[in-house]
Amino acid sequence: MVEPKMSKEDYLREMVEQRKKIVEIANSDGWKFIKHKGGVDCFYKRDDENPIVLIKGEGIVPATTKELLDFFLVYESLKISDKTYMGGEVIERIDDQHSIFLSRFKAPPLIKNRDFLYIEYDGKGDDGETYLCVAYSIERDDVPPDPNFVRGVIYATGYIYKPVEGDPSKSHLTYIVHVDPKGWLPVMVVNMVAADQAGNVASVKEHFEKLRGGASSSGSNKNEEETEKSTEKKGEGSEKLTITETEAGAGE
C-alpha cells in the first residue's frame, strides 16, 4: 500500500494554522464590493503574492450554528452548497472534526472538469462562539491525479459562521474562496468564474429557507436586481470583475 505524503499529526498541525488564516483573511482590510444578490454581499480582494483573487460572500442564514454544523458535516451537502459539484468520496476520516475528501466539479463547456484532494475541518473556532468549515489541498501518493480531470489547488477556502446578535435562530455566514483550478485557463477567466463562488452562501441560505417553509431569495426579486444595478452604476465602492477575452486555452 502506498503511504500518504504527510502524517495525521502533520495534517492537524497545518489545519490549526489554516483555521487562523481563514479568519484573518475574512477580517482583513482591502475587500472591494462586487454586488449584492440573493441576499448575499460579494467582495473580492487581490493577493500581492498570487494573481488569483480572493472572493468573499456574506449573508444571514435562517439556521442556528448547530444546524449549519450538522449541514457541513454531511459530505453530500456539497450538492446543495455548490451547484458545480459532480460527486466525490471520503478518503479518510481522521477524527470527528477532520476528514480527507476527493471532490469533483463540473467546468464550463469545452474545459476539462476539475477535482480537488483536501483535508477539511468542521467545528468551533478559537473564540468558542464562531464555527468553521475550513479546507486546504493536500497530496497523497495513494490518491494520484485522475487523467479525466485537472487537479486544482485550494489555497484557503472555508465557511465562517456565528449566531446573529439578538437572534440565535439565525447565523451570519461568510464564505472565503481562494482556489487555483490549474490547467491552461487564463487568470482573467479564473478570476471571473471565482466571483460566482460567493453564490454558495445564497445556496445554503435558500436551502434553509425552504426547510423553514419561507420564500426563497434565489434569482433575486425585481427590487433587488434594481438595487444591484443601481449600486454598480453609481460605483459606490463596487467594482466589476470582467475579462476582455474568453479563450480557455487547450481545453483545460
Give percent of the chain with pLDDT exceeding 90: 63
- pLDDT, averaged across the chain: 83
pLDDT of residue 230: 35
Cell 468520496 belongs to which residue? 89
Average pLDDT over residues 16-22: 95
pLDDT at position 189 over 80:
no
Q: Is pLDDT at 130 greater than 50 in this prediction?
A: yes
How far is it, in rounded angstroms, from Cα 175 to Cα 199? Answer: 9
For the segment 30-36, the average pLDDT, to the nearest whole number, is 92
C-alpha cell at 96: 470527528
Determine the Cα–Cα distance for residues 124 and 204; give it in Å rounded to an integer.
19
The set of residues, in sequence order, having a beta carbon less than 8 Å from that of 33 and lying 6+ positions away, is 41, 42, 43, 231, 236, 237, 238, 239
pLDDT band at 109 (very low <50, low <70, confident <90, very high): confident
Q: Higher-confidence residue: 18 or 49?
A: 18
- Rounded CA gap, 124 and 131, in Å? 4
Cell 473580492 locates to: 44
For the segment 42-68, what is each residue's pLDDT rounded down to a tens digit? Answer: 999 998 888 888 999 999 999 999 999
The pTM for the full model equals: 0.83
- The per-residue pLDDT for 169 is 96
